[in-house]
Structure 1
Amino acid sequence: MITIIIADDHKIFRQGLSRLLADDDRFKLLGEASNGKEALNLIWKEKPQVAVLDLSMPRPDGLEVVSSIRAAHSNTRCIILTMKDDIETVRRALESGVYGYVLKEAAYEEIAEAIVKVADNKLYLGRFQDNPNLYASCCEGQLTNREVEVLRCVVRGLTSRQIASELFISHRTVETHRQHIMEKLNIRTATGLAGYAREHGLI
Structure 2
Amino acid sequence: MSENIDLSELRIAVVDDHNLVLEGFRSLLTRNGLRHVELFRSAAALTDILRTRTYDIYIIDVELPDMDGFLLIDAIREAWPSARIIVSTIHDELWTVRKLVARNVDAIVYKSLDMAHVMEAIRDVSCGEHYYCDEVMTALGMMRNGIDHPSQREMDVLQAIAGGLTSKEIAQRLFISENTVEAHRKSLFQKLEARNIADLVMKAVKRGYIGPI
Q: TM-score, normalised by structure 2?
A: 0.57
CA contact (8 A) 1:7 1:34 kept: yes
Distance 1:116 1:89 in 2: 24
**2:24 match:** 16
Which of 113, 116, 119 aligns to 1:112? It is 119
Residues 123 and 38 (structure 1), Cα distance of their counterparts in 2 relative to 1, 3 Å cut: same
5+ residue gaps, structure 2: 1-6, 147-213
Which of 60, 70, 87 aligns to 1:63? It is 70
Equivalences, count:
136
Distance 2:44 2:144 in 1: 29
- Partner secondary structure for residue 132 of structure 1: helix
**1:19 offset after TM fit, Å?**
1.5
**1:38 offset after TM fit, Å?**
1.2
**2:141 match:** 132
- Partner secondary structure for residue 131 of structure 2: coil
Residues 133 and 30 (structure 1), Cα distance of their counterparts in 2 relative to 1, 3 Å cut: same
Which of 50, 56, 62 aligns to 1:49? It is 56
**1:11 offset after TM fit, Å?**
0.7
**Rg larger in structure:** 2
Distance 2:101 2:39 in 1: 23
Which of 84, 101, 121 aligns to 2:128? It is 121
What does the per-residue CA deviation read over 1:17-70, in whole Å, with 9 as the maximum and x for residues that have no partner? 112111211x23331111111122354343111100011012223211111122
- Partner secondary structure for residue 129 of structure 1: helix
Distance 1:94 1:24 in 2: 28
Letter in 2 for 1:60: M
Which of 108, 114, 117 aligns to 1:101? It is 108
**2:172 match:** none
**1:123 offset after TM fit, Å?**
1.3
Residues 74 and 88 (structure 1), Cα distance of their counterparts in 2 relative to 1, 3 Å cut: same
Distance 2:137 2:124 in 1: 13
Which of 95, 115, 118 aligns to 1:88? It is 95
Residues 42 and 110 (structure 1), Cα distance of their counterparts in 2 relative to 1, 3 Å cut: farther
- Partner secondary structure for residue 46 of structure 1: coil
Residues 135 and 11 (structure 1), Cα distance of their counterparts in 2 relative to 1, 3 Å cut: farther
Show structure 1 runs of 4+ deviating over 6 A.
Answer: none
5+ residue gaps, structure 1: 138-203
**1:88 offset after TM fit, Å?**
1.6
Residues 38 and 108 (structure 1), Cα distance of their counterparts in 2 relative to 1, 3 Å cut: same
Which of 7, 22, 27 aligns to 2:15? It is 7
What CA RMSD, in Å, does the superposition of the two structures yield over aligned residues?
Answer: 2.2
What is the aligned-residue identity percentage?
21
